[in-house]
A and B are shown apart, each in its own frame.
Chain A
Amino acid sequence: MAAKKAGPENLKLAAVLDLNEASVLHGKLISMRGSDVVLDASDVDRVGVQCAQVLVAGARAWKEDKKSFVVEKASDAFEKTMQLIGINIDNLVAKEI
C-alpha cells in the first residue's frame, strides 16, 4: 500500500456497521494509513460497538500520524449510537493537529 499524498481519501461507511463489517472496516483503514481520510457516514443505519472500536482506534492512529481523520455527513443513527455508547463524536471528527 503505497502512501498516497495526493489528497484526502474518501471512505463510504457501510449501512450496517456490525460484527462482520468490523474486520472489513479495519482492513480498509489499515490500507489507507498515511493519507488524510474522510469518512462518509451518511448511509449508516446501524453501528455496532466493534466497528466503533475500529473507528476510535483509527482516529487515534491518524492523530498519531498527524493526518486528518474526519467523519462527514454523519447520519442520525451514527451520531445517536455513538452518543449512546459514550463515544464523543467530536473525537472522531478530529481536527487535524
Chain B
Amino acid sequence: MDMNEIKEIFFQECEEQLAELESGLLKLNDGDRDPETVNAVFRAVHSIKGGAGAFGLDDLVAFAHVFETTLDCVRSGKLEPGQDVLKVMLKSADVLADLVSSSRDGGSVDESRTRGLVKELEALAHGELPSASGHDAPKPAAKPAAAAAPAPKAETPKPTDDSGFQPIPFTFDGFGQEEEPVIEGSTYEVVFKPRRELYSKGNEAALLLRDLSRVGEMSIACDTDALPDLDKMDPEESYFSWKISVKTTKSEDDIRIVFEFAEWDCDLEVKFADEASSDEEQPMRPVPFDLSILDDAPSAEDDDKQAEHGADQTVAEAVSAAETATSVAKAAGAAARAAERKESAAAAAAAAQNNAAAAAASAGQTIRVDLDRVDRLINLVGELVINQAMLSQSVIENDATGTSSINMGLEELQQLTREIQDSVMAIRAQPVKPVFQRMSRIVREVADMVGKQIRLVTEGENTEVDKTVIDKLAEPLTHMIRNAVDHGIESPEKREAAGKNPEGTIKLTAKHRSGRILIELQDDGAGINRERVRQKAIDNDIIAADANLSDDEIDNLIFMAGFSTADKISDISGRGVGMDVVKRSIQALGGRISISSRPGFGSTFTMSLPLTLAVLDGMVVTVAGQTLVVPLTAIVETLQPEASAIHSFGASQRLISIRNSFCPLVDVGRVLNYRSTQANPVEGVALLVESEGGGQRALMVDAIQGQRQVVIKSLEANYTHVPGIAAATILGDGRVALILDVDAVVAASRGQSLRPEMSLAATG
C-alpha cells in the first residue's frame, strides 16, 4: 500500500470523524451532557489531528490542536458547553472540515476566519466566554501568563510557509501553566494502567514508558498484584500497572501527549506531585531509572528488525518518530534513513488508526468498496434482468405449448435475478445522514449572515436511499434550506412581535413511503404571502390576471421559472432561479416536489423521490401502437371506463366519474402527440394516478400489457431530454420502451392555466 492510498484512507476517515464531530456537537447543542458525547467529539478532533500529524498536514494539526485543547476543557468540566461556546465549536468544526478538504484537494481556506476562530477557541480555553469582554473571565491572569510563557515546546507543528496560516502556539501550555505553574523540576505522578485492547491494537506499554522517560527524570513502580498464577493467566491480558513519578521542566500536557494514542485503551491519571498520594502507599519502591537506556532504545535499533516487526510498531512511536524525525535526522546525520523511518512510522500510524477506527465501528463489519465497482455490478445486473426478460420472451415465442419445466426454470431465474438485483441495490443504499448534516452547517452560516436565530431539527437521518439519489439531493436541498432561512423564517423581532419564539425552527425529515423516500422541509416562519405571489406571477406574466387559482396552485407558483418574490436580491437567495431549479433537479431524479403553506405558521416542502435510479416496477402499456412504461408507484388503480362515466367538460376536456367524484381524463396519446384526435375512452384503460398537487388524474392508455421490473436507461445520457418522458428501458423483445413522466404529462394536461415549463406540443 503506498502513501497516497494510506492518505486517501486517512481522508475517508476524516470524513467520518467530521460527521461524528458535528453530530456530537449538535447533540451537545441540544442539551445532551453525556460525557460519552463529549468524549466522542474530542476523539474525533484528536484522531484527525493524529493522522494529520503523521502526514505532515501542519495547518490541520495546528488548528485541530487548538480546537482539541478547548474541547479538553469541556471534557474536564472546566468549560461549560453553553450555546455561545457551542456556536464557536460548530464554526470550528466547519473550519476543520474546510482544512481537511483543502488538504485533500488543494484550494485555500478563509485564513482570517481560521485565525479568528483560533483566537476565540483560545479565549474559551482560557475561561473567557465569547460574549464576555474578555477581562471579566474567571481567571484574569490567564492571558499574561500565556504571553509570558516560555517558547512553545519543540513538537509544536510549524505551519507550512506557503499557507500563510499562522497557528497560535499551543495554548495548552499556557492553560496548563495557569493552573499548575511549571517551575524548574516539577514532579508529576502518573498512574498508568493499560487495558488488554492497548496491546491487541499493537501498542506496547514498554514503548510508552520509554517515551515517557524522555519527558524527564523518571522513577517507576510496577504494580504486579493483579497478576494471577502462571497457569491461570491469559498471556495476552494486561495485568501490570505503573505508578510513575516524572520530574520534568515540561508541562502536564507533555506527559499526556506520550499516551495520546493509547489514551482510550488505558486508565491514565496525571497529577501534580503535591496532590498525589505519597510514595509510601505504593506497593513497590520506585526503581531509579537509568536514562542511558534511551541511547539504544528499540527505535534506534537496526532497521531490519523494524521492518520485520513493523506490525508491532506502536502508534506512539510512530507519531513521536514522525514529529521528531527532522531533529533525529539532524542529530544522527542520517537524513535518508530518518526519512525512511518517518514514512514507515507514518504508515504505521495510519494503519493503527485504521485499526482503531475499525474497532470502534465493531458494531458491524464493513469494507470499503470503490463506487465504480458497485456501479459496474449494478449495470451488469441490469443487463442480466434484461437478458432474462429476453430469454423468457423467446421461450414463449418459440414454444407456444410452454413446457412446464422450462417455464418453472424461467420463473426461478426471474426470482433469482430479482433477489440479486435487490441485494445489489442494497449495497448502494446509504442513509441520508451526511446530506442532512451538511444542511446544519448551511443553516448556521446563512442564519449568521442574515442575523436570524434558527435551529435545524432533523429526523429520520438513517433512512436509506440509493447513493446516486443522495449525491444529487444535496444541491436542491441546499437551495431550499437557504430559501427557508432567508425568506421562510422571519427576523427575531418580527417573530417576537407575532408572539413566536424568536428562534425559528427548520425541520428536515426523511421517511420511506410506498417504495419512495419522502423528504420534508418544514419551517415555522411566516408562510407564503399568497397575495404577493399571485401579484408577482401576474406581473411576470406567468399567469393571466383573471386566472382563478386554488391556494395550493398559488403556492406552487413559486416553482415557476423566473419567479422571485424577494424584494431585494441578496447573496443567499432571491435571484429568482432558486425554486424552479430545485424543481428541475428533483424531477431529474424522478421525484416530485410540492409545497403547502399556512400563513403565519410556516411552509412545508415535500419531496418524494425514488429509492433508486436504476430500476423501477412499471406497468407496460400500449398507447397508439407504442409501448410505454408507467411507474407503478404513481398508479393508484386501473379501470375500464364505461361510457356513462365519461363527461365532457369545456371544449376539449373530459372527466371520468369514479365512485361519485370527478377526475380529469388525460389522453396520454394526445398529450404526447402520438395522435391528433382524442381516443375513445371506452376502448381504452384508465390509470388513476396521484399527481403532484395531490389531486388525481386518470391517464388514458389503449391497453395494459403487463407489469414488469424494468432497468432504467437514461434518455438524457443516450439521446436527449424528451418532455413527458422520464427515461427509457429495454424490453424482453429487445425493443426500447419509453418510461412515462407522469407528473409532466399531468402538468401538460392542465397547461391552460399554468403554462408548464415543458411545452409538450412542440415535440413530435
Instruction: List residues of chain A with CB under 8 Å of any chain B CB.
Output: 15-16, 18-19, 22-23, 25-26, 29-30, 33, 45-50, 52-54, 56-58, 60-61, 76-77, 80-81, 83-88
Contacts and interface: CB of A to CB of B under 8 A. Distances in A.
Contacts of A87: 222, 224
A8 B209 CA distance: 34
B41 to A, nearest CB: 31
Which label, helix, strand, loop or mixed, suits the secondary structure of the A interface?
helix
Contacts of B209: 84-85
Q: Identify the interface centre among B194, B206, B239, B284: most chain A CB within 10 Å of its CB.
A: B206
Given A16-B305, A85-B220, A85-B240, A53 B235 contact: yes
Contacts of A33: 230-231
B311 to A, nearest CB: 9
B317 to A, nearest CB: 12
B286 A86 contact: yes
24 contacts: A16-B305, A16-B312, A19-B199, A29-B230, A33-B230, A45-B298, A46-B298, A49-B204, A49-B240, A50-B199, A50-B235, A54-B235, A56-B227, A57-B230, A61-B230, A61-B231, A76-B296, A77-B298, A81-B206, A84-B213, A84-B289, A85-B222, A86-B221, A88-B287
A23 B240 contact: no
Given A83-B289, A87-B222, A50 B236 contact: yes
A48 B222 CA distance: 14
Contact of B230 (A15, A60, A83): A60
A52 B293 CA distance: 17
A57 B205 CA distance: 18
Nearest to A51: B235
Contact of A86 (B210, B220, B230, B239): B220
A79 to B, nearest CB: 9
B233 A54 contact: yes
Contact of B235 (A22, A46, A88): A22
A86 B233 contact: no
Interface residues of B, number: 39
Contacts of B625: none
A56 B240 CA distance: 10
A80 B300 CA distance: 14
B230 A58 contact: yes
A84 B229 contact: no
A5 B64 CA distance: 63
Q: Lowest 6 CB-CB distances: which A-B pairs, in order? A: A86-B222, A86-B220, A26-B235, A61-B230, A22-B235, A80-B293
A16 to B, nearest CB: 6
Q: Identify the interface centre among B194, B204, B233: most chain A CB within 10 Å of its CB.
A: B233
B242 interface: yes
B308 to A, nearest CB: 8
A80 B289 CA distance: 9
B199 A30 contact: no
Nearest to B305: A45
B735 interface: no
Given A30-B231, A53-B224, A86-B242, 13 more contacts: A22-B235, A26-B230, A33-B231, A46-B305, A50-B235, A53-B239, A56-B227, A57-B228, A83-B289, A85-B209, A85-B240, A86-B220, A87-B224
Nearest to A61: B230
B301 interface: yes
A13 to B, nearest CB: 14
Contact of B233 (A26, A48, A83): A26
B51 to A, nearest CB: 24
B290 interface: yes
Contacts of B368: none
Contacts of A47: 206
B309 interface: yes
A57 B242 CA distance: 17
A29 B240 CA distance: 19
Given A18-B312, A45-B305, A85-B222, A25 B235 contact: yes
A33 B230 CA distance: 10
Contacts of B296: 76-77, 80
Given A19-B236, A56-B227, A57-B229, A49 B293 contact: no
Given A83-B290, A84-B289, A86-B287, A45 B236 contact: no
A14 B290 CA distance: 25
A84 B206 contact: yes
A47 B240 CA distance: 14
A30 B235 CA distance: 12
A85 B242 contact: yes
B287 A49 contact: no
A15 B205 CA distance: 18
Nearest to B196: A50
B152 to A, nearest CB: 28
Given A49-B204, A53-B235, A18 B287 contact: no
Q: Identify the interface centre among B221, B235, B284: most chain A CB within 10 Å of its CB.
A: B235
A67 to B, nearest CB: 12
Contacts of B286: 86
Interface in B287-317: 287, 289-290, 293, 296, 298, 301, 305, 309, 312
Contact of A52 (B230, B240, B287, B312): B240
B501 to A, nearest CB: 57
B206 A57 contact: no
A60 B312 CA distance: 28
B244 to A, nearest CB: 8
B279 to A, nearest CB: 13
Interface string B202-218: 10111001100100000
A66 B226 CA distance: 22
Contacts of A25: 235
Interface in B304-363: 305, 309, 312
Contacts of A50: 199, 235-236, 238
Nearest to A62: B230
Contacts of A15: 305
A22 B204 CA distance: 13
A38 B312 CA distance: 28
B309 A18 contact: yes
Given A46-B298, A83-B290, A53 B227 contact: yes
A18 B230 contact: no
Nearest to B288: A83
B182 to A, nearest CB: 25
Q: Identify the interface centre among A23, A57, A58: most chain B CB within 10 Å of its CB.
A: A57
Contacts of B309: 16, 18, 46
Contacts of B237: 53
A18 B235 contact: no
Contacts of B242: 85-86
